[in-house]
């Protein structure tokens, strides 16, 4: 994960005198998904920090249980045509896709449940609780399936206002039955049936052993309860004729939807079942990252966050915890006091840059060179590198400094003939995410916590 863009967003002038509008510092433009933007990301990159496996998790939209809310139920067929017609099967909320439906919740104890039945689309007034692997029934006649609980570490690192981590509970997974049927829904109640609870009604389909009891009152079907879940169902149905055979005699026109569970059964794979096609990346930038070579400056602010896959350092796969993204020059003698964000020039070569930080103690001047005038291109519109022992001058401070000609390592910065290239190779790897934002001012005693959500 990279931090960049120390300079303000503005309308800037290119080497051919044409201008580019990049928005303003209070309203930067949204990055475009194009090649140009990917290249330019490296021009003003400050630093990057390696994302460890412990910094990532699958996540899902956060949905806290709230009393008085009518939750959607899990169904396997949202978005398909309703049997016997051309309308689309929709959830109570109107969602026509399972993962848009509000079919899971988290309670105040950070336990996550899947809603299997909502008492005929009525409001939930009793929060689900407990970690039983059996289907839970609450006092409001909702049925829930416990999925998993958030650990303290998950809550600290990955729980946000909008998202929550998702993981499979091994105990719940082991207790799941592939192809079981636990819920049936009445589509059409029918009429003319003999009242009573009629048992041992077969659940037909490609599974086996499933059975239900069907309650008829006032001649119509009023309830269907699964008594034997069976196994192996990928489709199923309860026939009106079988309800009649079980004792409903003259019942006609009833239709019952058999709800098919996900592969492996409820709770077998919580990530897939709850729509965990989001990945959250959680990275802390702690001050200068002094524990990791001090590669992250606190002398300047940043306005960009980016995600880079498989970047390189010195031509090889990057492996360090942090990587400096700026160029640097080691000065000799008694340089002046360069100030952040000022333009620097090297009259002999024509090189132009912009100061990111000046480390007066070690006489290290960190800078970037962008594609714009006064930031990186010379009077001819070319990107010219600073070189040699030619004097560098600050255009705002009037400070001057003479580059060293030595080769050494100063404050973890490798200097070759007075200069140091960025530790992360420009244009290496694959920039897969960029976000421009208003500036973030950094400090040595400050930690920036950056959470990114990537949808796959």
Per residue in 131-158, pLDDT (tens digit) is: 999 999 999 999 999 999 999 999 999 9
Average pLDDT over residues 101-125: 98
Give the pLDDT confidence of 358-415 residue by residue, as tens digits: 999 999 999 999 999 999 999 999 999 999 999 999 999 999 999 999 999 999 999 9
Mean pLDDT of the chain: 96
Give the pLDDT confidence of 203-224 residue by residue, as tens digits.
Answer: 999 999 999 999 999 999 999 9
What is the structure's pLDDT at 17? 94
- Is the whole-model pTM more than 0.75? yes
Return the beta strands (E) in 17-55 as ranges. Answer: 19-21, 45-49
Task: Provide the CB-side half-sphere exposure for 30 (13 A, CA).
Answer: 1
pLDDT band at 339 (very low <50, low <70, confident <90, very high): very high
> Which of the four pLDDT bands, split at 50, 70 and 90, describes residue 226?
very high
pLDDT-derived band of residue 302, with 50, 70 and 90 as boundaries? very high
What mean pLDDT comes out for the span 160-185?
Answer: 98
Cβ–Cβ under 8 Å, residues 340 and 299: yes
**Residue range 422-446: average pLDDT?**
95
Distance CA 299, CA 262 (A): 53
Q: How confident is residue 229, by pLDDT bands cut at 50, 70 and 90?
A: very high
Across residues 99-125, what is the average pLDDT?
98
Q: How many residues does the chain have?
A: 456
CB 105 within 8 A of CB 140: no
Q: Would you list the domain boundaries of the chain? A: 2-54+285-440, 184-258
Which strands sit side by side in the sheet containing 220-228, from one edge to the other? 196-202, 211-217, 220-228
Which of 455, 389, 376, 383 lies closest to 417, judged by CA?
389
Q: What is the DSSP secondary structure assignment for residue 425, as one 8-state letter?
A: P
State mean pLDDT over 253-280. 98
Strand partners, 365: 329, 358
Q: What is the pLDDT of residue 307?
A: 96
Rounded distance between C-alpha atoms, residue 131 and residue 148, angstroms: 8
Q: For position 456, what pLDDT does the model report? A: 86
CB 388 within 8 A of CB 381: no
pLDDT at 422 over 90: yes
The answer to whether residue 231 scores a pLDDT higher than 90 is yes
Residues 6+ apart with CB under 8 A from 156: none
Beta carbons of 258 and 238 less than 8 angstroms apart: yes
Q: How far apart are CA 368 and CA 434, in angstroms?
A: 19
**Nearest 5°: phi and psi at 278?**
-105, 145
The Cα diameter of the chain in Å comes to 104
């Amino acid at each position: 994960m990279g931090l960049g863009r120390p300079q303000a967003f503005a309308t800037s002038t290119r080497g051919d005198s044409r201008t580019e509008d990049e928005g303003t510092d209070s309203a930067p433009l949204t990055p475009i998904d194009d090649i140009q933007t990917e290249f330019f990301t490296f021009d003003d990159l400050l630093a990057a920090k390696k994302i460890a496996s412990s910094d990532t998790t699958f996540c899902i939209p956060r949905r806290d249980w709230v009393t008085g809310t009518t939750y959607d139920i899990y169904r396997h067929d949202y978005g398909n045509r309703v049997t016997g017609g051309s309308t689309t099967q929709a959830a109570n909320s109107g969602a026509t896709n399972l993962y848009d439906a509000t079919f899971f919740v988290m309670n105040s104890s950070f336990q996550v449940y899947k809603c299997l039945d909502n008492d005929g689309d009525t409001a939930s007034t009793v929060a689900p609780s407990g970690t039983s692997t059996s289907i839970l029934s609450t006092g409001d006649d909702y049925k829930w399936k416990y999925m998993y609980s958030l650990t303290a570490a998950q809550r600290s690192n990955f729980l946000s206002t909008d998202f929550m981590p998702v993981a499979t509970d091994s105990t719940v997974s082991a207790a799941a039955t592939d192809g079981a049927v636990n819920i049936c829904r009445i589509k059409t109640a029918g009429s003319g049936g003999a009242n009573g609870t009629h048992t041992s009604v077969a659940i037909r389909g490609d599974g086996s052993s499933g059975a239900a009891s069907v309650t008829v009152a006032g001649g119509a079907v009023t309830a269907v309860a699964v008594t034997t879940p069976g196994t192996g169902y990928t489709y199923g149905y309860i026939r009106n004729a079988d309800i009649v055979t079980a004792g409903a005699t003259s019942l006609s026109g009833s239709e019952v939807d058999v709800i098919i569970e996900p592969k492996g059964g409820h709770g077998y794979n919580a990530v897939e079942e709850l729509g965990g096609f989001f990945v959250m990346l959680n990275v802390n930038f702690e001050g200068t990252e002094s524990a990791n070579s001090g590669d992250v400056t606190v002398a300047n602010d940043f306005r960009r966050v980016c995600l880079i896959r498989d970047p390189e350092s010195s031509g090889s796969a990057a492996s360090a915890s942090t990587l400096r993204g700026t160029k640097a020059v080691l000065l000799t003698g008694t340089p002046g006091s360069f100030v952040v964000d000022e333009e620097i020039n090297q009259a002999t070569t024509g090189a132009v840059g912009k100061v990111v930080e000046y480390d007066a103690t070690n006489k290290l001047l960190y800078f970037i060179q962008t594609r714009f005038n006064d930031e990186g291109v010379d009077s001819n519109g070319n990107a010219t590198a600073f070189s040699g022992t030619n004097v560098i001058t600050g255009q705002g401070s009037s400070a001057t400094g003479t580059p060293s000609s030595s080769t050494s390592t100063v404050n973890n910065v490798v200097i070759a003939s007075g200069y140091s290239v960025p530790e992360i190779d420009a244009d290496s790897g694959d920039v897969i995410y960029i976000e421009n934002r208003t500036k973030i001012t950094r400090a040595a005693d400050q930690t920036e916590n950056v959470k990114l959500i990537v949808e796959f």
